[in-house]
Chain A
Amino acid sequence: MSNVLWAKMHGGTTHFPIALVMASALFDLAGFLLPDNPGKTRRASFQAAGFYTIVLGALGAFGAVASGLVMSQGQLWGRGSLARHHAFLWPAFGLLIGLAVWRLVVRDRASSLGFKIYLAGSMLTAILMAAAGYWGGELLLNR
């Protein structure tokens, strides 16, 4: 398959995990900070949204990483913007998978402390993903 096609696939697939991880962190933060409504559904709804978005984001990350690796011909580090892209990407990828697995196992049985630690991790992952996305964009648009 042509390199151009892989590059386009990476460009297409990579936005899903970035957006979904950010959305997940925001949903969970909203569920954590906002007061619950009388029907006790608001927090549960935000947490459900946070759950599904991080799981989908983790699944999407496999496609983004696979297409990126094929496009870069297996380069795990590189130089310049590519190295900076990878410096943020690999920790974000590992954290994302770890957090998604934690969330899949724990579901709604998290303690307050456990959820706070998870939330801090998901926000850190969102920041790392955003930075990886920024440097990925710089690879194409470093004018």
Chain B
Amino acid sequence: MSIETKAALLGLAAGLAVLGGTFGLSPLLQLATAAAAKEQSTNIASAATSPTLEGEARRGHSLFDHNCAHCHGDDARGDEGPSLYDLNKTDARIARIVREGIKGEMPKFGAKLNDADIQALIAYLRTLNS
């Protein structure tokens, strides 16, 4: 067997091994991050003197972490984007902003989040009271 054939087999094995490892370890990572998110949501809820997040608000918090925290800050008190505490907007208005974005200021998430996701996100945002 030539060195190239051996290297090709080794390369194939390495490529499959890293993909297998990544896909195999991912469920463990999901468990670990879910536990961390649960702890974080409890902390945020405590900080906002509101009860522990439940149901839709909990799912909304996870969606927030994944989609919004990058700009609005981990604690939703603002970073590149504004603070989302004490929002003085209707649910429909918030949903439209999330879905369609704000030109030049905020990306649109309509292709990424469905209506149920946006409602969960709004449920979480409604827990953010000073």
Contact = CB atoms under 8 A, between A and B. Distances in A.
Tell whether A and B belong to one assembly: yes
Interface of A: 2-4, 7-8, 62, 65, 69-70, 72-76, 79-82, 90, 93-102, 105-106, 109-111, 114, 139-143
Nearest to A95: B15
Nearest to A102: B11
B112 A73 contact: no
Nearest to B105: A143
Contact of A65 (B22, B79, B108): B22
B19 A114 contact: no
B120 to A, nearest CB: 14
A105 B3 contact: yes
Interface residues of B, number: 41
Interface of A is mostly: helix
Given A4-B69, A106-B4, A94 B16 contact: yes
Contact of B107 (A4, A79, A93, A143): A143
18 contacts: A3-B66, A3-B69, A7-B70, A74-B27, A74-B29, A81-B111, A90-B19, A93-B22, A94-B18, A97-B14, A97-B18, A98-B12, A101-B14, A102-B4, A105-B10, A110-B4, A111-B4, A142-B109
Interface in B50-106: 62, 65-66, 69-70, 73-74, 79, 101, 103-104
Given A4-B79, A98-B11, A72 B66 contact: yes
Given A3-B66, A101-B7, 7 more contacts: A62-B18, A72-B66, A73-B34, A74-B26, A74-B32, A95-B15, A143-B108
A102 B16 CA distance: 13
